[in-house]
Amino acid sequence: MGYTYISFNYYSPDDPDVTVDQSKLTYFHDTYHECRNAFVAQAEKLKERLDSVEIFASQLESKTDNDLTIDFCYIPAKDTTLKLLVLNSGIHGIEGFTGSAVEQMIMAELFEPEMFSEMGVLIIHAMNAWGFKHERRVSENNVDLNRNFGVDKSLFTKKNEGFVAMYDMLNPENKLNTKSLENRFFMLKAILQIAQKGLPALTQAFAQGQYQFPEAIYFGGNDFEQQVQIISNVLRDKAEEYSIILSIDLHTGYGDRGTLHLFPNPVGDPAIKQKMHTIFNGYEINWGNSDNFYTVTGQFVEFIGDLFPEKVCIPMVMEFGTLNTSSTIGSVESAYISIIENQGFHYGYKSQEDSLKVKELYHEMFYPPSKKWRTNAILIGKDMIQSTLVNYEKL
């Protein structure tokens, strides 16, 4: 058997050992529009219980779609504007399906009037609505929005030499044929790269973000996407009066399947690090010590701290794992799927079979159809967010 992706089928991560709960599955939907409607409906129900709730949306400009919005639900603090929680989903479009489900669950099951005495909450739904609708991670301009946030354009001058060195491997410029020799030996080529450079160096070069190749994966842009201005305006309007801002960005893909991971970029401020320990007490935080952990440039949650340098800003990424990327084979598989999806989108597919296979793999990595995985995502998401809310209130 050759080294096509199809030969990777022997590597099938086990689903979590949970009982499927249909009541949790109702938060999941099949399209961006269904998710948006469900989010707004849940926000309206919340407004019936909390009369201070504000629901609003920002229209996104698009060359092909006139029905894309970022939707917001804001609950202001009632007594003192000390703490704000910013909860974001869908910065990587297709990952918004799970992020939307978790946000709906939080509004339906976790929010109670008494928790908003000193804490406000701003929920952002479908930041990358185009990617959400078209089931890609990136924007309409092929920009990874989580590599695009910053307060000045020096971001776009950053170099990723590791990516440049592997460009041919990471961005094949021909129609995708999963049975080609190029794809048959992808695993072998990746293992040789790992043997030469080590898995950490390979992962960092691959996923850090790059600003030189607009058609390639993890492109951070050569200018700010429209979302940066939209979100900046909303944050300046809603967050200005708060002293402490906890920002949580919901993702899927990286990490062990069925596990909810906490992945901040390395934190240099001991006081912020201690607050993170307090807020996420009882949960393991990956501080960048694992073999294939990587740091990111242009990350949204860190942008908030840059936007409000005078405030205490606590950034955190929550990631629902799918493909066991802590293992070498899971990490290589994840890279391969990202590469071939991008290749097929930009350069086309040799056959309909190739196109359908890539779509199937892409969903498995970012929106698994497994009812057990989805049930588990809501259960573990609820536990962690509930604990986080309690600890953040006490901070």
For the chain, state the CA radius of gyration: 20
Would you place residue 291 in the very low, low, confident or very high pLDDT band (cuts 50, 70, 90)?
A: low
- For the record, the structure tokens of 390 come out as 């309690």
SS3 readout for 290-310: CCCCCCCCCCHHHHHHHHCCC
pLDDT given for residue 225 in this prediction? 98
- Looking at residue 46, its amino acid is L
Looking at the DSSP bridge assignments, the partners of residue 15 are: none
Q: Give the pLDDT score at 289.
A: 58
Question: What's the pLDDT tens digit per position in 45-80?
Answer: 999 999 899 999 999 999 999 999 999 999 999 998
How far is residue 73's CA from residue 95's CA, in Å, rounded to a whole number?
19
Per-residue pLDDT, 293: 60
Three-class SS string for the chain? Answer: CCECHHHHHHCCCCCCCCCCCHHHHCCCCCCHHHHHHHHHHHHHHHHHHCCCCEEEEEECCCCCCCCCEEEEEEECCCCCCCEEEEEECCCCHHHHHHHHHHHHHHHHHCCCHHHHCCEEEEEEECCCHHHHHHCCCCCCCCCCHHHCCCCCHHHHHCCCHHHHHCHHHHCCCCCECCCCHHHHEHHHHHHHHHHHHCHHHHHHHHHCCECCCCCCCCECCCCCCHHHHHHHHHHHHHCCCCCEEEEEEEEEECCCCCCEEECCCCCCCHHHHHHHHHHCCCCCECCCCCCCCCCCCCCHHHHHHHHCCCCEEEEEEEEEECCCCCCHHHHHHHHHHHHHHHHHHHHCECCHHHHHHHHHHHHHHHCCCCHHHHHHHHHHHHHHHHHHHHHHHHC
Domain ranges of the chain: 5-394
Residue 190 pLDDT exceeds 90 = no
Residue 341 φ then ψ, to 5°: -65, -45
* CATH code reported for the domain at 5-394: 3.40.630.10
Nearest to 316 by CA among 356, 275, 349: 275
pLDDT band at 31 (very low <50, low <70, confident <90, very high): very high
pLDDT, averaged across the chain: 91
| Of 382 and 287, the one with more pLDDT | 382
Give CA 111 to chain center in angstroms. 23
Euclidean distance between CA atoms 190 and 336, whole angstroms: 9
User: Does the structure show a pLDDT above 90 at 207?
Assistant: no
Q: Are 220 and 210 in contact (CB under 8 A)?
A: yes
Signed CA dihedral, 117, 119, 122, 123: sign only: negative
For the segment 276-294, the average pLDDT, to the nearest whole number, is 81
Judge whether residue 176 has pLDDT over 50: yes
Q: What is the pLDDT of residues 85-128, one digit of tens each?
A: 999 999 999 999 999 999 999 999 999 999 999 999 999 999 99
Strand partners, 55: 73
Given a cut of 60, whether residue 5 has pLDDT beyond it is no
What mean pLDDT do residues 292-300 have? 80
Q: Is residue 189 pLDDT above 70, yes or no?
A: yes
d(CA 342, CA 362): 11
Q: Is 197 exposed, middle or buried (0-12, 13-18, 19+ CB in 10 A)?
A: middle
User: Percent of the chain at pLDDT above 70?
Assistant: 95
Q: Is the pLDDT at 240 greater than 80, yes or no? A: yes
Distance CA 285, CA 214 (A): 33
Average pLDDT over residues 273-293: 84
Can you give the pLDDT at residue 325? 84
Q: What is the mean pLDDT of residues 307-331?
A: 92
| Residue at token pair 């200005």 | 240
